[in-house]
Amino acid sequence: MRKFALIAIVIALSLGVSMTAFSAVTKEDLRKALKENPDVLLDVLREHNIELFEIVDSGIKAKRTADVKKRRDAELAKPLAPVVDVARVVVGNPDAPITIVEYSDFLCSYCAKGAKILDALVVAHPDTIRVVFKHMPGEDTAIKAALYYEAILLQDRAKAKKFHDLVFAAQEEVLKGKEDTLKKLAKEAKADMSRLAADVNGKELMARLNADEKESRQFEIQGTPAYVVNGVSIRGAQPLAEFEEVISLTTGKK
């Protein structure tokens, strides 16, 4: 607000209003003067473009913070309820009291960073957190990667996690080599390739991906990565501290 006042003073001075007389200038006076001299405002804004940017940037950040708090308060009061299939828990204790549902895309660089954050979180809370990995794939290769992951998960949880980590670490290679690279990474994860070939194109797995997508839309999730931590959403790539804060809010434990 003080910056707005400074700009108003500069405008007044540009219009020839003395500082002594400025205190008597009303908002209506200023509005009328600007209407009669519109170029003055543009000149002032150009001269003070950095200050103007700082004001706008501060307002955007404040609005974003307020929106997050509003959504978080609403979700604490009425938690989101994603479907949790214990068979799809890829990290952590399957019976853990804290559930994190992750909506991800194997070819999203922010999702790769988010996966490492979740690994660190599980290391910090080995017995109390479980992670369910769900999908919001964009392009065809990301969809195929998700199907490979789910097919390997039918075989073995540890192998699915290994494939998960390998794909995130080799995103550029996957983009170039597509399914050939996915096959190579599946072999590296020690998957049963014969069973994988039989399962990967099954209707059940594609239905699982479609259900994940539908569920994310119900929660108004618009991009990856996104997470639901004990019913409270975290949207976008966020630091470990953000997850710790939401866990504290949902469990009442500091």
| DSSP code at position 87 | G
Per-residue tokens: 152: 């390997």
- Domain at 86-251, CATH class: alpha beta
* Phi–psi pair at 97, nearest 5 degrees: -75, -20
- pLDDT confidence bin for 155, thresholds 50/70/90: very high
Concatenating the DSSP letter of every residue in 168-226 gives HHTHHHHHHHTHHHHHHHHHHTT--HHHHHHHTT-HHHHHHHHHHHHHHHHTT--SSSE
112, 249, 88: which is closest to 175 by C-alpha?
Answer: 112
Residue 186 has pLDDT above 80, yes or no: yes
- Placement of tokens 């908002």 in the chain: 27
Identity (one letter) of the amino acid at 208? R
For helices 49-77 and 2-14, give the axis angle rounded to 10 degrees: 150
Domain locations along the chain: 2-77, 86-251
What is the pTM assigned to this prediction? Answer: 0.76
User: Which of 68-82, 122-136, 181-195, 230-244 is the least confident region?
Assistant: 68-82
pLDDT for res 118: 94
| DSSP code at position 106 | T
Mean pLDDT of 179-183: 96
